[in-house]
Structure 1
Amino acid sequence: MSRPIEEVNGEEERNDENAVASRPGTAFSLVSLGDQPVAVQVAAGAVPGAITGYVFKRVSTTAAAAVGGGLILIQLAARAGYVSINWRRLERDTKHQWEQVKEQTARAAVGTEIGGRSLQSWTREVGQFAKDNVAVSGGFLSGFLLGLASG
């Protein structure tokens, strides 16, 4: 099946709604990857996955170091007698706070909207995309894991 050809800026260009945009300033769409070779689909998932994994590892490592360092400082201060911690009360209060967080999160997830759509419909759409684009999804996951390992 041939696609209609249109002349743009003196160059011939095929009209296809799912074609990858080749003109500067146009957006690259993941929807267009279905017609691409599997290697391109995997690479299109692996590159952003690797970047995401690398950044995630760097950010999480920094956050873990900050939280861990803070806990060590609190323990040292408590051992030296500068701080007195009522551990039973702390445990009771954190359990109570944790239950509240779980309840609020469950309630918020029901009415949360992302881009005008509910969270449930958004997650269903993302899941469907992952099923429809196994190569891209697998590439992203592989790249993410490689990014985590390389950081």
Structure 2
Amino acid sequence: MVTNMAPSAAVNKRDDDIPSTSENFDLEKTAEEAKSLIEKVIKDVGKKSATRQLLFGSASGWATGFIMMKLGKAAAFTVGSGILALQLANSSGYININWDKLTRGVERVAERVEDSTSDKKQGLLKKVRNIVETNSIMAAGFTGGFFLGVAYS
């Protein structure tokens, strides 16, 4: 039996039927869960054979290198295009850039970023050093895999 229903009547979907991703999403909690999962995986792999450690390190290093290069290329393209577009608009007279003010603003932001990350950087370096010392085979595999991922991208 075929009915002549209007397309809007056949699909009765309301906005409140769609789950919202912004509700009850705690970024810090998610980051902590991911961090603990990574630490657990690294500990577990560290107990496996040298071959498995090397394979795991190589695979994760390759994926990291590949993704970082793809993201880096996209970021470099975006920033470079933006700079070229700004300079073209500036030289054509569409906009006027106060380079001194821009430089001062960038320096202030850089100082704030450096101040807020200096403590975190030391903690991160300590964790990386601990992982390398306790899982040297996996760290070597990660390093080699990382450079292969960079080269492959």
Query: TM-score, structure 2 length as denominator?
Result: 0.64
Pairing partner for 1:42 from 46, 51, 54: 54
Q: Which stretch of the first structure deviates more once superposed, 129-138 or 95-104?
A: 95-104
Cα distance in 2 for partners of 1:29, 1:97 equals: 36
Which secondary structure does the structure 1 equivalent of 2:68 belong to? helix
Deviation at 1:95, TM superposition (A): 1.8
The C-alpha deviation readout for 1:16-43, integer Å capped at 9, x for no partner, is: xxxxxxxxxxxx8332344543222211
Cα distance in 1 for partners of 2:48, 2:136 equals: 13
Residues 1:138 and 2:140 are matched in the alignment: yes
**Higher-RCO chain (CA-CA 8 Å, sequence separation at least 6):** 2
Cα distance in 2 for partners of 1:50, 1:33 equals: 17
Using the aligned pairs only, state the percent identity: 29
The C-alpha deviation readout for 1:83-136, integer Å capped at 9, x for no partner, is: 1111122222222232222223336x39xxxxxxxx83x653442222111110
Extract structure 1 runs of 4+ deviating beyond 4 A: none
Equivalent residue runs for 1:1-150 within 5 Å:
29-106=41-118, 109=120, 120=123, 124-150=126-152
Counterpart for residue 23 of structure 1: none
Query: TM-score, structure 1 length as denominator?
Result: 0.65
In the alignment, structure 1 segments of 5+ residues that lack a partner are 1-27, 111-118
CA RMSD in angstroms, aligned pairs only: 2.4
